Amino acid sequence: MQIEGKNAVLEALRAGTAIDKLLIERGAERGGIGGTIFRQAREKGIPVTFAPREALDRQSLTGRHQGFLALSPDFSYASAEEILALARERGEDPFVVLLDGVEDPHNLGSVIRVCECAGVHGLIIPEHRSAKVNETVMRVSAGACNHLKIARAVNLAAELDALKEAGLWTAGLEADGEPIWGTDLGGPLALVVGGEGKGIRPLVRRHCDRVVSIPMRGKVNSLNASVACGVAVFEVLRRRTGGN
């Protein structure tokens, strides 16, 4: 897998992500973020190759390498058990987000970024009908993929049941649910966010303890999946940190 862009490469280095080789545009290692990337790569013993911009353009899969391109093994997914273990290590109630059918890599990358920023312990995505963590997702997440535990599930409904057995209550985010502002979001929580245009599948919805919604006042009655997820997870964070 390729990691492209200054921020994504820097966050991969900071997180200790395995990197086989780093390509840097000649001159881009001088000062600023570029200098930090170069120093950290050398300290970690990662082979660095300097090349003209044209060479990185040919190698790039996104066209947005910004002069930095890291070659890494395929993304290593976590397990749901590792996500719950992280919450225990931090002494916090587990907060897990599950995505049901988010197939756009840009949306997935944005969801990963907002979840990591909001302190979510982990994200669970389906093995099928879902975008995978790839170069585009890494770039859009601004490197958050390297800091958030991401697991894959064969059956999302069964995964929700397993989380319930572990003591979490489950909530689906849909347009026809009870307003999220007045809903008790305390305690161990698994939040399900549906895909673009389709929402949460009926089978998965039936495995949610409750359904919550984000109140709308405009003429457009829906939000992009990543935006809706961002609103919801930061509302949970606000409640957990005692915000009014």
What DSSP character marks residue 101?
A: S
Measured CA to CA, the distance from residue 68 to residue 34 in angstroms comes to: 8
Residues of the chain with CATH 3.40.1280.10: 80-240
Structure confidence at residue 64 (pLDDT): 86
Structure confidence at residue 106 (pLDDT): 93
Structure confidence at residue 138 (pLDDT): 86
One-letter amino acid of 6: K
Q: Which residue has the tokens 């059956």?
A: 155
Structure confidence at residue 243 (pLDDT): 65
Q: Which parts of the chain sit beneath pLDDT 70? A: 243-244
Residues of the chain with CATH 3.30.1330.30: 2-71
pLDDT in tens, 155-191: 999 999 999 999 999 999 998 899 999 888 889 999 9
Q: Name the fold adopted by 2-71.
A: 60s Ribosomal Protein L30; Chain: A; (3.30.1330)
Measured CA to CA, the distance from residue 87 to residue 180 in angstroms comes to: 23
Give CATH for domain 80-240.
3.40.1280.10
